[in-house]
Amino acid sequence: MTDSVDTQRTEEIVKVANKALRKFGLTDNEIAVYVQTLIHGELSPFTAAKLTDIPRTTVYDVFMTLSLKGLIDLEHNSGFEKQQTRVRAKNPSIMRKILEERRRETYDIETDLSLVLPLLKREYHKEDSNALIEFLPGIEGMKRVYLELEGVEQSSQKDAISWTNLMPLDMLGGKIVNNDVRQGSLNRVKKQIRTKYLVPLNNWTKHVMTYQSSIDPDYLKTRDFRFIESPIFECYLEMVIANNVFKAACAEGEEVWGLIIKSKALVATLRSIFISQWQNAQPITPDLVKSWGKNAFLQEQRRKKQQ
């Protein structure tokens, strides 16, 4: 009867305490022996092996490790013979003191490391760049990056996000820009992709939206635009984030350039900024675009074409 009671108590304790004792740093064998020590008060290697089904030769090692971890006391009845070894469990509250000591040791190590880490990191990083940064000046640099943006957005599918100023036709010409936009729509239809775009709401935004949605029936279907209507939100670049790469194309005033940066840290930071802005932005819907009226520039283009 006593054996069955002890077995039940052991199972209950192990079931409740197993996870915490594992986190404390005990192995399965150590947990089994430690629990039996708590229940019986004192154990010999023979008794521990019998109660836990752990080989006696292994029990000796478990006794030693539990002792080194501060949870039991070893007692030797005659010299240091293993056969005479007996153990007693310490008050389980000792684990709190052990954890406090570990914390103190951790802080001690951390303070020492804080002094040596700059030296070690200087050797680790050396002079090699661990981020790719490529600046492409002039029209050709801007053009290369701009024409790559559509490909980046489509290859990364749902991962791609973009701030856009809806690039004017000045630098590249209407044919290149419109063909690029249309081809992007067709590819998105095929791959079932919708890239997220944040834009400022102004006269230029309305002009591009009414123009492109009129000449490209898939323009709004394949792109998810949201606007921020605020005088403090301005965007003079085409910027895309995807696959841990940031790309930007600028053709604003005197500045004409392209930029490519491969950096997890930069992309993660910019993505979090984008998401916070996106959550507060308003969607640009076909009905909203329709409410802005017909595009006068497009109407004039078509009139001249007819002539």
User: Range(s) for CATH 1.10.10.10 in the chain?
Assistant: 2-92
Q: pLDDT exceeding 90 applies to what percent of the chain?
A: 35
Q: What is the mean pLDDT of residues 229-240?
A: 88
Q: What is the mean pLDDT of residues 238-264?
A: 90
Q: What is the mean pLDDT of residues 201-217?
A: 88
User: Range(s) for CATH 3.30.870.10 in the chain?
Assistant: 132-306
Please provide the average confidence, as pLDDT, over all residues in the chain: 84
Q: What is the mean pLDDT of residues 107-113?
A: 89
CA torsion 211-284-228-169 (nearest 10°) is -20
Least confident range from 42-51, 160-169, 211-220: namely: 160-169
The pLDDT value recorded for residue 1 is: 45
The pLDDT value recorded for residue 4 is: 58
Residues 6+ apart with CB under 8 A from 104: none
Least confident range from 43-47, 79-83, 203-207, 210-214: namely: 79-83
Give the separation between CA 247 and CA 39, rounded to whole angstroms. Answer: 66
The pLDDT value recorded for residue 34 is: 92
Better pLDDT: 176 or 169:
176
Better pLDDT: 223 or 10:
223
pLDDT at residue 135 above 60?
Answer: yes
The pLDDT value recorded for residue 118 is: 80
CATH fold of 2-92 reads: Arc Repressor Mutant, subunit A (1.10.10)
Assign domain 132-306 to its CATH architecture. 2-Layer Sandwich (3.30)
Residue 58 binned pLDDT confidence (cut-offs 50, 70, 90)? very high
Residue 130 identity (one-letter amino acid): N
Q: What is the mean pLDDT of residues 99-107?
A: 92
CA torsion 243-244-249-255 (nearest 10°) is 180
The pLDDT value recorded for residue 204 is: 87
What are the distances in angstroms from CA 189 to CA 183, 195, 209? 10, 12, 19
Q: What is the mean pLDDT of residues 281-290?
A: 93
Q: What is the pLDDT of residues 172-184, one digit of tens each?
A: 666 777 777 777 7
Residue 152 binned pLDDT confidence (cut-offs 50, 70, 90)? low
**Contact between residue 76 and residue 85 where contact means Cβ atoms under 8 Å apart:** yes
The pLDDT value recorded for residue 26 is: 93
